[in-house]
Chain A
């Protein structure tokens, strides 16, 4: 197996772990952690495709990942702030209980 395929398999596994965490945990912070894992799996793919792609000298993959990390940090900040606000309001961070927008 080529290194690229190995990297892709690793990132797929990482993605699945993140997905399961996001879907199965009821603690909102842990759901956020799962989402971060999925993001990082995607970042791993960017790096792998850049490193083993046709123009490894261009540096595009690294720049892309740097942007993604920055955006993910911002997203995490907003997500954590939301979680804190919900906790203040409900004294709980269980995701199932925050269902007041139900139709």
Chain B
């Protein structure tokens, strides 16, 4: 039994319906909203599993359903749905992780008065992401992409009464919009060049070889057309997936409720960028065979990914907020994924995306569990000693931490990271990204050890931490399930690379090449050992005591704690530039345009004054004089009306006599 592509639209439609239910219920209907969200997501998960079954029957085929949206003159704008293993795996992952996060949210948002709206937004978020995944058209993908951005804005700013949350929501929205501008330009260029935005359309789609051959010509600047379009689309992914230099919104997005962070970092928002680049990989790779171009699109992707991976890991070492450490860890891991795509192995990137989704959701929900228990204390210096109090959270968090660090063999993160390192090692263009990735592995193990040691070991260093206790099953059960998945996913790659083979049957199998396993184990052990040596052996005793690393390189640590000053840099350059423009515009508005408008208004006023004078002194005076004469005449004549009937009769008689005399005289004459 499998889900045919004709019914694929049901997967995003179900959570969308839940969002509608959430939007239409009154505020008291939180149980209904949460129930609808969870039930539809469970349904979507089952459908996604069916779709996966259907996709795996024909792993090499792209099953599509294309339809015309509307006609523009002679051309017809067509959208479509696509079912292939990439879509199906992503759908299963997104629905499953979202489902667990929704369940967790019922516990986490128990005390929030606005919870029904929260579930409405969560459903919308998941629906948009699912729509993005099943799209067979870059346009449909872009529409859902923007919906994801909208939902993330609503959710990051969910506690909008906090100024920091409102600012973070705005920052996330605007920063990703910068990247989206590039995406949109690339999309328009592609539409102009190819006349269609469908990915696969029986040989005419933009990702099929016939169309890609159109884009190999060189532009005046020396780049191939496909390189330019690919890089523009990559701009969108840079914004959405928090890549250097647009990563600044991702850590700030921690102001949202923790389930939102989990959703953004694991299943929906940031995965979209990696998914996009993996989806359009044939386009990105179209210029690989051209020798006389200055740069290949994938080379840029690889270097951006490597920079992001190393930078995120470095900054994570010096952060003190539990969620910020995880946020920078996400930045770093997304860098790994981009690196994998850049060096030509999008399969490894998607593998890492899937495993990362599970253990990062686990880590964030674990962090949420800690924060919920410790009354919203997020500073790891003020936590501590939670291991005996929160056994389930500790055990699952430790599993997530080991998966993220890449502890060998048992944990899924090891295998996906291994695939990426292997791909980077085999890249012919440069070995720098490989070394950046290797250094990142050590740092990842180090900062995750630091995080676990600070939060769970030692003694509680604040009242909140000492009064913490384990949370309700609604919050712990998802943790256990995610932890189990983090381990079980090893089976996807070991003993044979099953997932990689399913995603890309044409790729030659690289199983059995274990040359990098040993160095990798050494690196992870190095990171874990160093972390334990600095933070685990002698746990900090007071919240105020300095970090051990501060003693060795205080300047570097301060810079890292300050996130390498990217926010300040942007505030000083982009921010100042735009506020300068705003000031200029305000000046022009107040003095130039407003002045012109005031001048015209003054002219109008003056002419009004003049014509009023004319009116009063000329026309009005003439009419006044005329009517005064008329009135005076009336007054004079009315004197004749004496009201005396005898008078009238006398006048009448006198007149009659006079007439008589006239007649007689006239008759006599």
Partner of B643, one of A19, A23, A31, A99: A99
Chain A residues near B640 (CB-CB < 8 A)? 103
State whether B646 touches A102 (Cβ < 8 A): no
Chain A residues near B645 (CB-CB < 8 A)? 31, 95, 98
Q: How many angstroms from the CA of A101 to the CA of B643 in the assembled complex?
A: 5
State whether B653 touches A23 (Cβ < 8 A): yes
Q: Within 8 Å of chain B (Cβ to Cβ): is A41? A: no
- In the complex formed, the residue of B with least CB distance to A31 is B645
Inter-chain CB contacts under 8 Å: number: 32
- Interface band, chain B: 10 to 19
Partner of B649, one of A23, A100, A102, A103: A23
Given contacts A19-B653, A23-B653, A103-B638, contact A95 B646 (CB under 8 A): yes
Smallest Cβ distance from A47 to chain B, in angstroms? Answer: 21
Chain A residues near B646 (CB-CB < 8 A)? 23, 26, 95-96
Q: Within 8 Å of chain B (Cβ to Cβ): is A22? A: yes
Q: Within 8 Å of chain A (Cβ to Cβ): is B639? A: yes
Q: Within 8 Å of chain A (Cβ to Cβ): is B641? A: yes
Chain A residues near B650 (CB-CB < 8 A)? 23
- In the complex formed, the residue of A with least CB distance to B650 is A23
CB neighbors of B among A64-103 (8 A): 95-96, 98-103
Chain B, 136-164, contact with A by CB distance < 8 Å: what is the 0/1 string?
00000000000000000000000000000
Given contacts A103-B638, A103-B639, contact A96 B644 (CB under 8 A): yes
Partner of B642, one of A31, A95, A102: A102
Q: How many angstroms from the CA of A99 to the CA of B639 in the assembled complex?
A: 13
Partner of B641, one of A19, A22, A98, A101: A101
Q: How many angstroms from the CA of A99 to the CA of B647 in the assembled complex?
A: 11
Q: How many angstroms from the CA of A31 to the CA of B644 in the assembled complex?
A: 13
State whether A22 touches B638 (Cβ < 8 A): no
Q: How many angstroms from the CA of A53 to the CA of B640 in the assembled complex?
A: 43
Q: How many angstroms from the CA of A26 to the CA of B649 in the assembled complex?
A: 12
Smallest Cβ distance from B538 to chain A, in angstroms? Answer: 120
Smallest Cβ distance from A24 to chain B, in angstroms? Answer: 8
- In the complex formed, the residue of A with least CB distance to B657 is A19
Chain B residues near A26 (CB-CB < 8 A)? 646
CB neighbors of A among B221-279 (8 A): none
Chain A, 13-26, contact with B by CB distance < 8 Å: what is the 0/1 string?
00000010011001
Partner of A22, one of B637, B639, B649: B649
Smallest Cβ distance from B561 to chain A, in angstroms? Answer: 103
Chain B residues near A95 (CB-CB < 8 A)? 645-646
Chain B residues near A103 (CB-CB < 8 A)? 637-643
Chain B residues near A23 (CB-CB < 8 A)? 646, 649-650, 653
Q: How many angstroms from the CA of A99 to the CA of B644 in the assembled complex?
A: 6
Smallest Cβ distance from B441 to chain A, in angstroms? Answer: 117
Smallest Cβ distance from A99 to chain B, in angstroms? Answer: 3
Q: How many angstroms from the CA of A22 to the CA of B642 in the assembled complex?
A: 18
Q: How many angstroms from the CA of A96 to the CA of B647 in the assembled complex?
A: 10
- In the complex formed, the residue of A with least CB distance to B653 is A19
Smallest Cβ distance from B517 to chain A, in angstroms? Answer: 126
Q: How many angstroms from the CA of A23 to the CA of B650 in the assembled complex?
A: 7
- In the complex formed, the residue of A with least CB distance to B645 is A95
- In the complex formed, the residue of A with least CB distance to B640 is A103
State whether B642 touches A99 (Cβ < 8 A): yes
CB neighbors of A among B595-649 (8 A): 637-646, 649
Q: How many angstroms from the CA of A103 to the CA of B640 in the assembled complex?
A: 7
Smallest Cβ distance from B648 to chain A, in angstroms? Answer: 10
Smallest Cβ distance from B664 to chain A, in angstroms? Answer: 14
State whether A100 touches B653 (Cβ < 8 A): no
Q: How many angstroms from the CA of A103 to the CA of B642 in the assembled complex?
A: 6
Chain B residues near A102 (CB-CB < 8 A)? 641-644
Q: How many angstroms from the CA of A102 to the CA of B648 in the assembled complex?
A: 12
Smallest Cβ distance from A42 to chain B, in angstroms? Answer: 13
Chain B residues near A96 (CB-CB < 8 A)? 644, 646
Smallest Cβ distance from A44 to chain B, in angstroms? Answer: 18
Q: Which of B637, B644, B645 gathers the greatest number of chain A CB atoms within 10 Å?
A: B645
Q: How many angstroms from the CA of A29 to the CA of B644 in the assembled complex?
A: 16
Q: How many angstroms from the CA of A23 to the CA of B652 in the assembled complex?
A: 10
Smallest Cβ distance from A91 to chain B, in angstroms? Answer: 18
Q: How many angstroms from the CA of A103 to the CA of B641 in the assembled complex?
A: 5
Chain B residues near A99 (CB-CB < 8 A)? 642-644
Smallest Cβ distance from B630 to chain A, in angstroms? Answer: 15
- In the complex formed, the residue of B with least CB distance to A19 is B653
Q: How many angstroms from the CA of A101 to the CA of B650 in the assembled complex?
A: 18
Smallest Cβ distance from B480 to chain A, in angstroms? Answer: 109
Q: How many angstroms from the CA of A101 to the CA of B641 in the assembled complex?
A: 7
Chain B, 208-231, contact with A by CB distance < 8 Å: what is the 0/1 string?
000000000000000000000000
Chain B, 14-34, contact with A by CB distance < 8 Å: what is the 0/1 string?
000000000000000000000
Smallest Cβ distance from A3 to chain B, in angstroms? Answer: 23
- In the complex formed, the residue of B with least CB distance to A102 is B643
Q: Which of B638, B646, B650, B653 gathers the greatest number of chain A CB atoms within 10 Å?
A: B646
Chain B residues near A101 (CB-CB < 8 A)? 641, 643
- In the complex formed, the residue of B with least CB distance to A99 is B643
Chain B residues near A31 (CB-CB < 8 A)? 645, 649
Q: How many angstroms from the CA of A31 to the CA of B646 in the assembled complex?
A: 9
- In the complex formed, the residue of A with least CB distance to B634 is A103
Chain A residues near B644 (CB-CB < 8 A)? 96, 99, 102
Q: Which 6 A-B pairs have the closest CB atoms?
A: A103-B638, A99-B643, A103-B641, A102-B643, A95-B645, A101-B643
19 pairs of residues in contact across A and B, judged by CB atoms under 8 Å = A22-B649, A23-B646, A23-B649, A23-B650, A23-B653, A26-B646, A95-B645, A99-B642, A99-B643, A100-B643, A101-B641, A102-B642, A102-B643, A102-B644, A103-B637, A103-B638, A103-B639, A103-B640, A103-B642
Extra A-B contacts (17), CB below 8 Å, given A102-B643, A102-B644, A103-B639: A19-B653, A22-B649, A23-B646, A26-B646, A31-B645, A96-B644, A96-B646, A98-B643, A99-B642, A99-B643, A99-B644, A100-B643, A101-B643, A103-B637, A103-B641, A103-B642, A103-B643
